[in-house]
Structure 1
Amino acid sequence: MGSISYKNRYANAIVIWVIMILNSSFSSTSFSTSTNKTAHISPGTLDDYLYNLSSKSVANSDVLYNISLPANFSGMEVSILRLRSSTLWARGANFSSFDIPPRIITMPYVKRIAIMYENLGNMSSYFYDLPGFKFLTPVVGLVIYDATDVEGRTSPKRLNIALMGKPIRVSYDHIQVPRGRNSSLLKCVRFEPTSGLVELSDMVSHGVCSSKGPGHFAIAVPAVNSTTFSPSPSPSPSFSPLPSPLRRGRRKLWPWTWWVVGISAGVAGLILAVSISILGYKA
């Protein structure tokens, strides 16, 4: 009995070890890092701060309001458009750099929404950074808030969207490609507002990007001394940038390598645990 108990405890320990390996393997495929360079204010906090500046001064009408900003945000532009969700579904919205098509549903659904447009201008690199790349355009933002009932609310409520039709288009009028660089290297950049991921994709046409959701957008080109990304005709995958370009380049391989190793080790460990348990009971 003592031998069987010892073997059972050993088998249970192996099972626990396998579970820990599997958990660490799956968690290694998920990344979340901050893309802001400064500790003064994060991009997400910036959005909420700018929205709070306008929440009491903008009427509930389908009119685009330009918001007056404090002096420390000089060079930035912020506009607010409040409208019904049914209007967004039927007509969409078109202002500044964004063309929002019809057939869009907010998630969760609310009766009234506020669409905030941001142009960070010369402060783009202050709030956003993409190692290995150089911005060719200012960072522009599209954020959607619940405007149904703002009375007594302590913090603004962000909304996501579901596209039932065409994607959102983000257009830039003036893009100057650095001398000696090919325009095919230009990439659309989207900073995902909640996960912290950065999405790179090809332009749909010159100076035009597309997106399936809100966020902050720019067009960038790989830095001259960057070897992290090579030109490719296909869209690049999503990633969270790390401070070191070399580590970020290897990063696309390591999570999947550890995932495969973890699964293999887990299966082998389970087989070993079951075998020890069977032998223990037979003994």
Structure 2
Amino acid sequence: MISLANFYRVFFAILLSKFPFQNAQSPPKNISLSSRFLDSVLQDYAFRSFFRHRQVTGVIYDGNVSPELTGITVSALRLRSGGLRRKGYFGYKEFDIPAGVFENPYVERVVLVYQNLGNWSSVYYPMPGYLYLSPVVGLFAYNASLSPAKVLPELDLRASEDPILIKFESFGVLKDGVSPKCVFFDLFGGVEFDRVVNGSVCKGIKQGHFGVVVEENVPAPVPAPAMMPVKGPENPIAVGGDGGDKKGGSNGWWVGGMVGGVFLVVAAAAVYGVMVAVRRCVRRRRVEKMEYVTEGGVSLAVVAVGNGKMPVAMEMRTKPVLENEYVT
């Protein structure tokens, strides 16, 4: 019984035989194959590289494609899902995969397949009105069962924290007014544009194909307008007469009211402070007077008694007189 992978290879070979190749480096424009079918074929070529080597986790294995697809390169990378999520993987061809990337559904080991479509980019991913400045590259995740008898299930690879970076080679100096754009092709035929960062870097959060394009017919830059005389304000703040600007007048009253309110608050605070100081002074004078009256105007001596001090009268104020002294 023929497997699904072998069926795809046979069908692909028969389909390619219908269109003779004159030059593999310049693919004919009349070929129209499904990009998803191409993904399955390139997946099979990438997985074959594992069986030619000892399978080592974290090592990139480059695959070989058929002569009919010369110009396309594929690679495979086997990783542990836990390590991929904790550490990421940097330097997988053009891709820098950050920590926090996860696959759905979860598997213990994952195989990341890399594609570089080279000069086939515009064939499988045509962009009318745009020119490619880079080849279209792809990244896909598969369950790492590595069974050659069946097509491995495709996983949904997404970034949860930092985005995936796709670092293309420098595009050189572009003409003035020409701004490159990142283009992303998802697995369902959708196309998204984004800006290029750091000169030649694109960002993505999920698996698919990436490239850099520029508009084919970029319009000439619009010349800057001639210098015009500076025009005065249409709504002057100063208002005079009945025909003045009511809005400017209301703004003036509003500012004046604010200044007056602040002045009143400051004045009230100052008056309150003076009143508090006067009350404290009067109270202090009253206490001093009461103390003077209590002591009878005569200050008493102070002597130490134990650990404290207390006032005492050193002598009697009235000299005592005996009763016999009154008898003459």
Give the CA deviation at 1:225: 6.4
The within-5 A match list for 1:29-178 is 40-58=32-50, 59=55, 61-94=57-90, 95-148=92-145, 150=147, 152-153=149-150, 155-176=151-172, 178=174
- Partner residue in 1 for 2:214: 221
Seen in structure 2, the aligned counterparts of structure 1 residues 225 and 182 have a Cα distance that, compared at 3 Å, is: closer
Q: Secondary structure at the match of 1:65?
A: strand
Structure 1 residue 151: Cα displacement: 5.5
In the TM superposition, residue 177 of structure 1 has moved relative to its aligned partner by: 5.3
Normalising by structure 2, report the TM-score. 0.53
User: 1: distance between equivalents of 2:170 and 2:164?
Assistant: 19
Q: Contact conserved, 2:42 with 2:115, CA < 8 A, in 1?
A: no
Cα distance in 1 between the residues matched to 2:79 and 2:171: 32
Following the alignment from structure 1 to structure 2, what is the Cα–Cα distance between the partners of residues 54 and 42? 18
Tell me which residue corresponds to 1:196: 189
How far did residue 204 of structure 1 move? 2.6
Counterparts of 1:91 and 1:72, CA distance in 2: 38
Question: How far, CA to CA, are the matches of 1:120 and 1:151 in structure 2?
Answer: 24
**Is contact 1:52–1:156 with CA below 8 Å preserved after alignment?**
no
Letter in 2 for 1:213: K
Query: Structure 1 residue 174: deviation in Å?
Result: 2.3
Tell me the alpha carbon deviations over residues 133-162 of structure 1, each in whole angstroms, 9 at most, x when there is no partner: 111111111111111363543x33111123
Letter paired with 1:138:
P
Gaps of 5+ in 1: 1-36, 227-283
Question: Is contact 2:103-2:157 (8 Å) kept?
Answer: yes
Q: Deviations over 1:244-268 (max 9, x none)?
A: xxxxxxxxxxxxxxxxxxxxxxxxx
* Aligned equivalents of 1:192, 1:81: Cα separation in 2: 21
Q: Root-mean-square deviation (CA), in Å?
A: 2.2
Q: Could you tell which deviates more after superposition, 141-150 or 88-97? A: 141-150
Structure 1 residue 128: Cα displacement: 1.0
CA distance in 2, matches of 1:54, 1:223: 34
* Cα deviation, residue 40, structure 1: 4.5
Q: In the aligned structure 1, how far is the partner of 2:201 from the partner of 2:72?
A: 21
Structure 2 CA distance for aligned equivalents of residues 152 and 70 of structure 1:
20
Among all aligned residue pairs of Structure 1 and Structure 2, give the percentage whose two residues are the same amino acid: 33
- Alignment of 1:182 onto 2:177: yes
Q: Which has the larger radius of gyration?
A: 2
AA matched with 1:211: G
1:208 aligns with 2:205: no
Total equivalences in the alignment: 187
C-alpha deviation, 1:55, in angstroms: 2.3
Letter in 2 for 1:223: E
**Which residue type is aligned with residue 34 of structure 2?**
S
Q: CA deviation at 1:202?
A: 0.7
Rate the CA distance shift 1:132–1:89 in 2: closer, same or farther, 3 A.
same
Q: What amino acid sits opposite 1:131 in the alignment?
A: P
Unaligned residue ranges in structure 2 (runs of 5+): 1-28, 220-328
Q: CA separation in 2, counterparts of 1:122 and 1:65?
A: 22
Deviation at 1:54, TM superposition (A): 3.1
- State the 1:39 CA deviation: 5.1
